[in-house]
A and B are shown apart, each in its own frame.
Chain A
Amino acid sequence: MNNVCVYCEFEEGKIQDVSFELLTKGRSLANQLNCKLEALVLGEGLAGIETEISKYGVDILYIADDKRLCPYTTLPHTAVAVGLFRETKPQIVLMGATSVGRDLGPRISSSLTSGLTADCTNLEIGEYEDKKTGRTYENLLYQIRPAFGGNIVATIVNPDNRPQMATVREGVMKKEIISETHKAEVVRPDINQYLREEDLVVKIIERQVESSKINLKNSSIIIAGGYGVGSKENFNLLYELAHTLGAEVGASRAAVDAGFTDKERQIGQTGITVRPKLYIACGISGQIQHIAGMQDSAMVISINNDANAPINKLADYVIQGNLENIIPRMIRYYKRNIK
């Protein structure tokens, strides 16, 4: 009761990275709140999963291993999670802001009448004073996220309803193993008490999911393009520079929305969060929602026509001018100077 719970997403035979990142964050929140960290994993073929999950400091692990829970469909996962949460009454529930988490989270919150905040970029514990009633609440979850197209940052709280729910994108939190030998108490609830026949009406006829070939999160150098790159063709310049430097190509939301490159490359609040050694921002103006996904880069170079682009403030080096001129020269002078 009153613990922190992380819904661990089991996809294509493994737990998603974002779930481990949330377990790490959940562990530190539980420490602050002086409560336990719980995890919930639903799927099929979960033998041995407890070893993998326990390491992140989980105290209680709920496992439901059943063919009706795999692959993921909305209603069975909702039924089991809601049924369990009604009994275990967690104070906080965290989920990945993935295709699955964004489908499941709102369904659970609607059923439990609890507040849910999507795509948080930070989670903290703090107090809240309701100005109307004058009542002060201790130890609430601060759900912090850029809002309103990324023009402001809002801190959201759920004073009265439980659980306090939040989704977080991959890469926002850092994952960290607490102890290789840590053992969680494993609980295997009987899901038949939660599942009804009508929860099984949606059938998956065909499913094709590929592992990502793009590894932005673990790249030490990222060349990112924004709307200012201008076209899909101009993005080829970025690929060339990336190829030369052994880097990966990322993009801002504006560039993805304009169709210059794939959604998988999107960096920012509604994309992925990265912390490379070097971030080269090409034609990116620097909205908060983008900055949220790259502000921890060790070094930033901004290439931009506009001397006043907000991202320039974050940059160690600002190169003013056109990408078409600058990138080929970067490639040439890199090759000339590297031994």
Chain B
Amino acid sequence: MYKIIVLAKQVPDTRSVGKDAMKADGTVNRAALPAIFNPEDLNALELALEIGDRFPGTRITLLTMGPVRAAEILREGMYRGADAGVLLTDKAFAGSDTLATSYALSCAIRKIGDFDLILAGRQAIDGDTAQVGPQVAEKLGIPQITYAEEIISLAAKTIRVKRRLERGFELVECPLPVLITAHSTAPDCRPRNARRLMKYKRATTLSERHSASDDYLASHMEKSYLAITEWCAKDVNSGLVQLGLVGSPTKVRQVENIVFQAKESKVLTADDADIEWLMQELIARHTIG
């Protein structure tokens, strides 16, 4: 059995971005967008769950950093098979770049303590940087295997992984503990399990319970698994100067909505005459042929 930590991020669904998506200071206005479980983090969760299938007794802890609302993806992960969730939330984290994020996550991982494997998505769709996984591995001083497509074998303290490269693949072997990032070609995450949905649908963080009714709270007193761990910066012993905007070496100087240099376009129809004219024109100009 293994102890696995899965890193996940709640991301704005960048496929449906509106005009109020950005704030004046150049950071993302997350409140204005639908929030989803970052797709490749779901691939990472599935790789963890497959290990759990093979090795009963494996414990999977889902860790996310974000606003209070990010607890949504922890519940989502628990419905699909994660054993526990940890929310790392604090105003001090606001504006973190990838380096400050990886620092905060590494502090939380140290607080969780013992682990054999850390799994994370290769990249998040709101930034596409693919930086946080390797940066966390470096902070923890452990090896990394990026772009994992399949876990080929896991025996005692050695793992063998198939990595997807741009133009091929690689089979690598590494001793535990190791951080692995999952590629989108890894198996899709299994759906919610109905029994787990019933069990965990009232799982909440401390912040969420602050606004809950008394009888709701009473049910929590009896069932400790309904309490999602919530930590702030102080809880994980992180140094404030390394967090948030202050701890981020990269600053956004400027954000622009790009206006294209519009060309004078000639609009054609799909009629034979128009298309034949265009092909003649391209041939005459030696653009084609």
- Chain A interfacial positions (CB closer than 8 Å to B): 73-75, 78, 98-99, 102-107, 109-111, 113-119, 128, 130, 142-143, 147-161, 201-212, 221, 245, 263-264, 270, 277-278, 288, 291, 295, 299-302, 307, 310, 312-322, 325-326, 329-330, 333-334, 336-338
Binds A, one of B67-75, B129-137, B227-235: B129-137
Q: How distant is the Cα of A75 from the Cα of B144 in the complex, in angstroms?
A: 8
Chain A residues, Cβ within 8 Å of B265: 302, 312-313, 315-318
- B147 in contact with A99 (CB, 8 Å): yes
Which of A74, A207, A278, A330 is within 8 Å of B143, CB to CB?
A74
In the bound complex, do residue A158 and residue B255 qualify as a contact, i.e. CB atoms below 8 Å apart? no
A156 touches B253 (CB 8 A): yes
With A74-B143, A158-B249 given, is the CB distance from A118 to B257 under 8 Å? no
- A-B contacts, 18 listed (Cβ < 8 Å): A102-B130, A102-B146, A103-B134, A105-B131, A106-B98, A107-B134, A151-B257, A205-B160, A207-B170, A210-B167, A288-B258, A291-B258, A313-B260, A315-B265, A321-B269, A321-B270, A333-B280, A337-B276
Contacts A158-B250, A207-B168 supplied; 9 other A-B pairs, CB < 8 Å: A99-B146, A102-B146, A105-B134, A155-B253, A291-B258, A313-B265, A314-B261, A326-B270, A334-B289
Residues on the B chain within 8 Å of A106, using CB:
98, 102, 129-135, 138
Task: Establish whether residues B171 and A148, one from each chain, have CB atoms under 8 Å apart when the complex forms.
Answer: no
Query: Which residues of B lie under 8 Å from residue A336 when comparing CB positions?
Result: 276
Please tell me if the beta carbons of A310 and B138 are within 8 angstroms of each other in the complex: no
List residues of chain B with CB within 8 A of the CB of A264: 166-167
Q: B276: nearest residue on chain A (CB-CB)?
A: A333
Scan residues 158-215 of chain B and give those whose CB is less than 8 A from a CB of chain A. 160, 165-175
A319 adjacent to B278 (CB under 8 Å)? yes
B253-289 vs A, Cβ < 8 Å mask (1 yes, 0 no): 1111110111101111110101110111011000111
Q: Does B251 contact A (CB under 8 A)?
A: yes
In the complex, chain A residues whose CB is within 8 Å of the CB of B91:
none
The 5 closest A-B pairs by CB, nearest first: A149-B14, A321-B270, A115-B249, A110-B138, A209-B168
Tell me whether A118 and B99 are in contact (CB under 8 A): no
Q: How far is the CB of A154 from chain B (nearest CB, A)?
A: 5
> A149-B126, A160-B249 are known contacts. Are A201 and B144 too (CB-CB below 8 A)?
no
Decide if A314 touches B138 in the complex (CB within 8 Å): no
Question: Which of A116, A202, A205, A209 sits near B165, CB closer than 8 Å?
Answer: A209
Residue of B nearest to A244 (CB): B288
- Docked CA distance A81–B72 (Å): 40
CB distance from B225 to the nearest CB of A (A): 34
The answer to whether A148 and B263 have CB atoms under 8 Å apart is no
Q: Are B280 and A337 closer than 8 Å at their CB atoms?
A: yes
Contact B146 A103 (CB under 8 A): yes
- Contact in complex: A119, B128 (CB < 8 Å): yes
B135 x A107 contact (CB < 8 A): yes
A307 proximity list for chain B (CB < 8 A): 267
**Neighbouring B residues of A208 by C-beta, 8 Å:** 168-170
Dominant secondary structure of chain A at its interface with chain B:
mixed
With A116-B131, A151-B17, A317-B266 in contact, do A202 and B250 touch (Cβ < 8 Å)?
no
Q: Could you tell me which residues of chain B, from 93 to 108, have a CB within 8 Å of some CB in chain A?
A: 97-99, 102
Query: Is B267 in contact with A329, judged by CB distance below 8 angstroms?
Result: no
Q: A103-B144, A106-B134, A206-B171 are in contact. Are A316 and B266 (CB under 8 A)?
A: yes
Taken residue by residue from 115 to 154, chain B's Cβ proximity to chain A (1 for < 8 Å, 0 otherwise) reads as 0000000000111111111111111000111110000000
Shortest Cβ distance from A97 into B: residue: B130
Residues of A within 8 A of B289 (CB): 334, 338
| A-B pair number, CB within 8 angstroms | 248
Q: Does B28 have its Cβ within 8 Å of any Cβ on chain A?
A: yes
Chain A residues with Cβ below 8 Å from B133 are: 106
Closest to A292 in B: B258
Question: What is the chain A residue whose CB lies nearest that of B25?
Answer: A131
Contacts of A102 in B (CB 8 A): 130-131, 146
**Contact across chains for A277 and B287 when beta carbons are under 8 A apart:** yes
Q: Does B21 contact A (CB under 8 A)?
A: yes
Enumerate chain A residues within 8 angstroms of B129, measured Cβ to Cβ: 106, 116-119
| Cβ contact within 8 Å between B275 and A329 | yes
Neighbour of A152 across the interface among B130, B258, B261, CB < 8 A: B258
A residues in contact with B21, CB < 8 Å: 148, 151-152
Q: Are A118 and B131 in contact (CB-based, < 8 A)?
A: yes
A128, A203, A295: the one contacting B253 at CB < 8 Å is: A128
B15 within 8 A of A: yes
Task: Kindly list chain A residues whose C-beta atoms are within 8 Å of the C-beta of B258.
Answer: 152-153, 288, 291
User: Which residue of A has the minimal Cβ distance to B277?
Assistant: A333
Query: What residues on A are CB-neighbors of B269 within 8 Å?
Result: 319-321
Cβ 8 A contact of B251, one of A105, A156, A245 = A156
Q: Which of A103, A113, A130, A203 has the most CB of B within 10 A?
A: A103
A211: B residues at CB distance < 8 A: 167
A137 to chain B, nearest CB (A): 10
Q: Are B250 and A148 in contact (CB under 8 A)?
A: no
Interface centre among A143, A209, A319, A322 (most CB of B within 10 A): A319
Cβ contacts under 8 Å, B136 to chain A: 110
Residues of A within 8 A of B174 (CB): 201-203
The answer for the CA separation of A13 and B255 in the assembled complex, in Å, is: 40
The answer for the CA separation of A320 and B274 in the assembled complex, in Å, is 11
- A237–chain B nearest beta-carbon distance, Å: 14
A202 touches which one: B143, B251, B280, B282 (CB < 8 A)?
B143
B170 adjacent to A204 (CB under 8 Å): yes
Closest Cβ of chain B to A138, distance in Å, is: 14
| Chain A min CB distance to B29 (Å) | 10
Select one of B138, B266, B267 contacting A107, CB under 8 A.
Answer: B138
